[in-house]
């Protein structure tokens, strides 16, 4: 599919990095490696070398594959009374708060560095030094804080401001007691030095060398991680799962998030939607969310999501009928979508949780708090299984259509990921909206019996929706609470349309 390439991501610098690599002759996978590194610099609350993620890679003419470099549970567990594990509250505005858990006891084994090198070694054309040079320059020269970046820092200020090491790294140059303010230039020279060393020394520096040693010493007695965890970490590569999706086939990550999204889209494919934005359509969407939540709690709560059993015909038929019958009556995450001129597709979702409030000394690398993430620990905190890849709601996704079109998307937003992607895909595939319009439409999210409604809906028209779920919150404006679906669509002639979701500071460009 020769034609234009394109990039959509959560920061203009992330987009520019990927675009410059494509322009220099790199593939979508080269561009994705460089963009991931840059995101770890310019989107510090959402991505870090101390976190993990997934890449859905579809080389032109080849089968889709998943690179799983998400975090791993430690190989040994200390009693809760012996670890540093604390709760904090993030404030999303509109009186919406969410509890997070931080401290050394919340840190799982990071996978992102290993994943970068795994992807590079198997898919990339350019050297790692070439791919990381922009991220290194960004860290050394400084990043300018946008309004969005400042807002995100304020949301997690309970973590960053109560952690002297995080505050010192991301403090405003004019006020060391405040996190970066719009217009501030934040320099990260230690992170630049580590990235430069990684480019030449490889992942062993992190997992076997000095960085890993500092990490384990810093987590220390208050956490579970040891050098043994780092030495045994490996990225996992597997065939992506696929399922019919409207007039194409959707490829997705075989984790809980991907399975739930595939389940929801199958229900949507058969649902009798009314007009876009109508009460009947919103009720349909909310009902699909409710049924998807039921499937999550009943079939996937304690399952890593490595089979399509939950999507078997009998179970789907039961829920399809329920959707038709009804018609008559959370996290620090970022996403990168890339399509190159040769038709290669890269869709990557990254997360550092919200940060554990810890920085590996001398490196500028913040550490994840995945063992403190409620949606990753459905059985309860401190009950995780030893030495197991954690499952995730993250769902890097692509759809390839019978007419030659391709779509790449994904989102941040914890449990809102699947609801954000479902609504964007319905807008694109059922209502045939252009990409920007599909991404910009206001969203809803149903969590248990609690309904969240994003600002922008016609409130006079959705009384029935609010009556159905009397436990609800209506946001006054668009909000990052509802995810950030950075999305690209290419037609069979190589022309690309896209959107960077403004809810999470998104940007996009053609190359």
Query: Which residues are designated catalytic?
Result: 333
Judged by DSSP in three states, 171 sits in: strand
**CA geometry: angle at 65 spanning 304 and 354, to 5°?**
55
Distance of CA 478 to the CA centre of its chain: 19
Identify the burial level of 98 via C-beta atoms within 10 angstroms of its C-beta, where 0-12 means exposed, 13-18 middle and 19 or more buried.
middle
Judge contact between 110 and 52, C-beta under 8 A: yes
**In residues, how long is the chain?**
511
Retrieve residue 480's tokens: 């990052």
Among candidates 229, 297, 224, which has minimal Cα distance to 260?
A: 297
Distance of CA 141 to the CA centre of its chain: 27
Tally of CB atoms within 10 A around 43: 27
Tally of CB atoms within 10 A around 450: 12
Per the DSSP assignment, residues forming a β-bridge with 186 are 143
CA dihedral sign of residues 147, 148, 154, 160: negative
Among candidates 263, 260, 270, which has minimal Cα distance to 429?
A: 270
DSSP states of 204-268: HHHHTSHHHHHHHHHHGGGS---HHHHHT---EEEEPEEEEETTEEEEE-SSHHHHHHHHHHHHH
Judge contact between 142 and 184, C-beta under 8 A: no
Judged by DSSP in three states, 109 sits in: strand
Residues 6+ apart with CB under 8 A from 171: 177, 178, 179, 180
CA dihedral sign of residues 133, 488, 346, 252: positive
What is the C-alpha R_g of the chain?
Answer: 21
């Amino acid at each position: 599919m020769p034609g234009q390439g394109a990039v959509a991501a959560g920061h203009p610098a992330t987009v520019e990095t990927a675009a410059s690599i494509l322009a220099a002759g790199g593939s979508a996978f080269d561009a994705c490696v460089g963009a991931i590194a840059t995101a770890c610099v310019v989107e510090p609350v959402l991505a870090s070398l101390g976190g993990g993620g997934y890449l859905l890679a579809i080389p032109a003419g080849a089968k889709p594959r998943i690179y799983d470099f998400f975090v791993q549970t430690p190989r040994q567990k200390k009693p809760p009374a012996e670890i540093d594990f604390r709760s904090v509250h993030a404030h999303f505005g509109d009186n919406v708060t969410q509890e997070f858990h931080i401290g050394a006891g919340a840190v799982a084994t990071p996978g992102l560095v290993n994943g970068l090198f795994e992807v590079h070694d198997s898919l990339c054309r350019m050297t790692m030094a070439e791919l990381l040079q922009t991220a290194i320059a960004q860290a050394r020269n400084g990043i300018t804080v946008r309004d969005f970046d400042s807002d995100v820092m304020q949301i997690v200020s309970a973590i960053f401001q109560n952690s002297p090491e995080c505050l010192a790294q991301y403090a405003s140059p004019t006020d060391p007691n405040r996190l970066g303010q719009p217009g501030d230039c934040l320099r990260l020279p230690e992170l630049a030095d580590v990235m430069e060393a990684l480019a030449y020394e490889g992942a062993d520096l992190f997992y076997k060398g000095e960085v890993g040693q500092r990490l384990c010493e810093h987590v220390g007695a208050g956490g579970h991680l040891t050098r043994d965890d780092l030495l045994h970490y490996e990225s996992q590569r597997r065939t992506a799962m696929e399922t019919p999706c409207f007039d194409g086939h959707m490829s997705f990550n075989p984790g809980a998030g991907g399975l739930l999204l595939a389940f929801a889209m199958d229900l949507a494919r058969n649902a009798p939607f009314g007009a876009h934005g109508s009460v009947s359509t919103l009720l349909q969407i909310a009902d699909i969310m409710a049924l998807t939540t039921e499937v999550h709690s009943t079939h996937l709560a304690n399952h890593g999501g490595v089979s399509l059993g939950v999507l078997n015909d009998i179970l789907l038929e039961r829920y399809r009928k329920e959707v038709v019958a009804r018609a008559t009556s959370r996290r620090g995450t970022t996403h990168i979508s890339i399509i190159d001129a040769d038709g290669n597709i890269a869709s990557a979702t990254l997360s550092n949780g919200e940060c554990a409030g810890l920085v590996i000394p001398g490196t500028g690398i913040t550490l994840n708090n995945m063992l403190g993430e409620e949606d990753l620990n459905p059985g309860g905190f401190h009950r995780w299984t030893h030495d197991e890849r954690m499952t995730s709601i993250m769902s890097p996704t692509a759809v390839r259509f019978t007419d030659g079109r391709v779509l790449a998307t994904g989102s941040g937003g914890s449990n809102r990921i699947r609801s954000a992607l479902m609504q964007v895909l319905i807008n694109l595939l059922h209502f045939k909206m252009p990409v920007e319009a599909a991404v910009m439409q206001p969203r809803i999210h149903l969590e248990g019996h609690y309904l969240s409604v994003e600002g922008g809906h016609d409130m006079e028209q959705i009384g029935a929706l609010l009556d159905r779920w009397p436990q609800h919150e209506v946001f006054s404006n668009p909000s990052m609470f509802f995810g950030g679906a950075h999305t690209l669509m290419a037609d069979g002639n190589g022309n690309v349309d896209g959107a960077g979701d403004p809810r999470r500071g998104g940007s996009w460009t053609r190359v």
